Structure 1
Amino acid sequence: MAKTRLENLKLGIFVVLGTALLVVAAYLIGNRQNMFGKTIPITAIFKNANGLQNGNNVRFSGINVGTVNKIEMINDTTIRVHMIIEEKMQNHIKKDAVATIGSDGLVGSMLINIVPGEGKATHIGPGDELQSFSRVATQDMLNTLNQTNENAALLTEDLLKVTRSLTQGKGTFGRLLNDSLMAKELHQTITNLKHTSNEANIMIAEINQMVKQLDFDNSTAGVLLKDSITGDKMKNVISHLENSSMEIEKMTKDLNSVIGDIKTGKGAINYLAKDTILVGQLETSIENVTEGVKNFNEVTEALKHNFLTRRYFKKKEKEQKKELEKIDE
């Protein structure tokens, strides 16, 4: 009998303690989920929930001010998140605040962070919708890092190939690194280019100095540079000189052709120059002609003194004198 009462007492104490613990736990959970305090509902739209679940915390400036009440799928790119926050925070959160999805630590549960706005907007009210900003998810970051690592591996492989080619003396840069003679030639070429550049600079400076010293008003160069009429005349002179040069060239060709014919034995000139017999015959003929003229003059003089032809020659002399007198008058 006594044993039964002791057992009932223990059972009663256990039930009372269990009920008290259950009430306290329910209160704590309800208080954490804002089930017993005054709250207001607000919403935000995201493109990706990033693992957000019902009951996750809502933080404002690092302080837990509410929880996620509902996640609604609008379409494949739009997700509306319903939140409930403490009513007392209504006077601190403005309508230009921005809601973002983050994580509680590196590997903690997801939550919503509300970042205060910088403008002078009014405070939020029940049912208002906050602006949202979708941050890069951890998985996306890992995918990007993976792709970056792959690209880095490919780049490293290409750099290794280039380095091997350079050390083996392949290509222009490889030859420059390994061939000392080519390096010296390249150095000499660069030195020559520098020397040429310096010479060109000196020449340009001298030309500038000469141009500065020109008297454009009185010198011939100045007249040629400034007077368009003189320039046209110079063009005509140059054109005539070109024409004369062409004519002289043509004449030279003709003379060369004639001289060529003479050298090859063509024409009378070459025949007279080389045939000695013909030259002797020409000399004999000239002597005979001279002798014939001399005899003709003697016959003419004899006829002048002959009584039969004397009158004819005197008549001719008178006519010649009259003609000379007329010419003198």
Structure 2
Amino acid sequence: MAQNSNYKWKLGMFVILGLILFMITIYFIGNNKNLFRSTFQLKSHFKNVSGLKEGNNVRFSGINVGTVKDIEFISDSAVVVNLIIKQEVQKYIKTDAIASIGSDGLMGDKVLTISPGTASNTVVKDKDLIKSTKAVEIEDIMKSVKLSADNAAIITSQLAIFTNKMNNSKGVLSKLMTDATFANSLTKTLSNLESSTDEFAVFTKKMNNKKGVLSKLVTDEKLGNSVDSTLIELNETVKAAQNNFLLKGYFNKKKKADAKKKKAEDKKNKEEAKKKLVLDKEK
């Protein structure tokens, strides 16, 4: 009799524990599905749900606020996704909110995300339709990765050509890296250029000095007019000297000597031209 009573006590405890576990499971499932909370419904149209399923989470501002109730076809190119959202979140979702489909991590389950609106101040109502954006397809990601890989291959190929040319001993960059003589020559050239630049800077500084003659010639109008007058007077003096009977003979002899010299040069040039012409004909 005692053994039978012990058996019944164990069976009762097992049944009670089973009921408790069952109730806890029902509670968590119902809580996740929003069965025990006040909710409202929204819907959104998509051309492609990208693997979204019933029961997937709905997120608003990164927080799980509901689940996907069901997905229905409305045409051959569009489906409607019905959502169950917690009632307390309704006041934050405006009529210009946008629904989009993403992934919970890189390889996780699909998640429907609601982005808050910015322009509208009107709160959505039960069973309202909100706008949607196209889901990012894995094919689009693969195309982007392939394009990046192709570009990387082109860049690698161009870099190989560049390094090959750089290692060419005839190239300037290669000589600069390997030829010490060339590098020293370039260094000296740059040093000379720097020195010339410094000297030119000193020259321009002196030229711009108001006390210098060159600066006065450039900026002082009176000095410029004076130099012009002096040059004119000097030219007239030379002309007068050429007409003076004492110096006229000297200038005439110099003129004849210059003419004779020019004539000899012209004759020499003609002879060289003839010789060149004869050599060209013989070739």
- Is the Cα contact below 8 Å between 1:101 and 1:110 reproduced in 2? yes
- Is the Cα contact below 8 Å between 2:102 and 2:136 reproduced in 1? no
> Structure 1: how far apart are the matches of 2:186 and 2:134?
57
> Structure 1: how far apart are the matches of 2:258 and 2:117?
109
Larger mean CA deviation between 49-58 and 234-243 belongs to: 234-243
Alignment of 1:1-329 (within 5 A): 40-44=40-44, 49=48, 51-53=50-52, 55=54, 57-60=56-59, 61-63=62-64, 65-67=66-68, 68-70=70-72, 72=74, 81-86=80-85, 88-89=87-88, 91-95=90-94, 96-116=96-116, 121-134=121-134, 136-208=136-208, 210-211=209-210, 213=211, 225=219, 227=221, 256-257=255-256
CA RMSD, aligned part only? Answer: 4.8
Q: Give the equivalent residue in structure 2 for 1:272.
A: none
Tell me how far 1:186 sits from its aligned partner.
Answer: 0.6
Tell me how far 1:161 sits from its aligned partner.
Answer: 2.6
Cα shift readout 1:197-230 (whole Å, capped 9, x = no counterpart): 222222233334x32x46xxxx9976983548x8
> Structure 1: how far apart are the matches of 2:192 and 2:157?
39
> Structure 2: how far apart are the matches of 1:127 and 1:100?
17
1:70 maps to amino acid: E
> Structure 1: how far apart are the matches of 2:86 and 2:104?
24
Contiguous gaps of at least 5 residues in structure 2: 1-27, 243-247, 261-283
Distance change >3 Å, CA 71–CA 33, structure 1 → 2: farther
> Structure 1: how far apart are the matches of 2:86 and 2:37?
8
> Structure 2: how far apart are the matches of 1:203 and 1:66?
84
SS in 1 for 2:106: coil
> Structure 2: how far apart are the matches of 1:140 and 1:258?
94
- Is the Cα contact below 8 Å between 2:167 and 2:174 reproduced in 1? yes
Tell me how far 1:185 sits from its aligned partner.
Answer: 0.7
- Is the Cα contact below 8 Å between 1:55 and 1:69 reproduced in 2? yes
Tell me how far 1:101 sits from its aligned partner.
Answer: 1.1
> Structure 1: how far apart are the matches of 2:160 and 2:175?
17
Distance change >3 Å, CA 169–CA 242, structure 1 → 2: farther
Tell me how far 1:57 sits from its aligned partner.
Answer: 2.5
TM-score, normalization by structure 2: 0.56
- Is the Cα contact below 8 Å between 1:100 and 1:114 reproduced in 2? yes
Distance change >3 Å, CA 199–CA 29, structure 1 → 2: same
- Is the Cα contact below 8 Å between 1:166 and 1:177 reproduced in 2? no
Distance change >3 Å, CA 170–CA 162, structure 1 → 2: farther
2:160 maps to amino acid: L
Q: Give the equivalent residue in structure 2 for 1:297.
A: none
> Structure 1: how far apart are the matches of 2:192 and 2:65?
76
- Is the Cα contact below 8 Å between 2:101 and 2:112 reproduced in 1? yes
- Is the Cα contact below 8 Å between 2:101 and 2:110 reproduced in 1? yes
Tell me how far 1:173 sits from its aligned partner.
Answer: 0.5
SS in 2 for 1:160: helix
Distance change >3 Å, CA 71–CA 242, structure 1 → 2: farther
2:128 maps to amino acid: D
- Compare CA radii of gyration and give the structure with the larger one: 1
Cα shift readout 1:31-65 (whole Å, capped 9, x = no counterpart): 9777998764434456x636144626251233251
> Structure 1: how far apart are the matches of 2:236 and 2:173?
57
- Is the Cα contact below 8 Å between 1:101 and 1:135 reproduced in 2? yes
Contiguous gaps of at least 5 residues in structure 1: 1-27, 262-329
> Structure 2: how far apart are the matches of 1:31 and 1:220?
97
> Structure 2: how far apart are the matches of 1:197 and 1:255?
45
Cα shift readout 1:136-155 (whole Å, capped 9, x = no counterpart): 44332222222212222222
Distance change >3 Å, CA 223–CA 205, structure 1 → 2: closer
- Is the Cα contact below 8 Å between 2:93 and 2:123 reproduced in 1? yes
> Structure 2: how far apart are the matches of 1:33 and 1:128?
20
Cα shift readout 1:164-195 (whole Å, capped 9, x = no counterpart): 33334142111222222111111111111121
Distance change >3 Å, CA 258–CA 51, structure 1 → 2: closer
SS in 2 for 1:86: strand
SS in 1 for 2:54: coil
